[in-house]
Amino acid sequence: MVRVQVVSHLYPFLMEDFMEHKKALSAISEKGQLPISDGHDSERIWHNGRYIEYYRKVFADAMGIDADDIPDDMYIHHIDGDRMNNDIDNLMLCTRKAHENLEVMLHPDMYDPE
Q: Are 69 and 47 in contact (CB under 8 A)?
A: no
Q: Is the pTM of this model over 0.75?
A: no
Q: What is the pLDDT of residue 70?
A: 95
Confidence (pLDDT) at 35 = 59
Residue 104: predicted pLDDT: 87
pLDDT of residue 82: 86
Which residues make Cβ contacts (< 8 Å) with residue 80, sequence separation at least 6? Answer: 90
Residue numbers in the chain where pLDDT is lower than 50: 1-11, 13-14, 18, 21-22, 24-30, 38
pLDDT, residue 43, reads: 84
User: Would you list the DSSP string of 9-58?
Assistant: HHHHHHHHHHHHHHHHHHT--STTSS-EE-SSS-EEEEETTEEEEHHHHH
Of the candidates 104, 49, 97, 48, the one whose C-alpha atom is nearest the C-alpha of residue 73 is 97
Q: Check residue 27 and give its pLDDT.
A: 44
Residue 77 to residue 54: CA distance in whole angstroms: 13
Provide the residue ranges of all domains of the chain, joining segments of one domain with +: 31-111
Q: What is the reported pLDDT for 96?
A: 92
How far is the C-alpha of 111 from the C-alpha of 80, rounded, in Å? 18
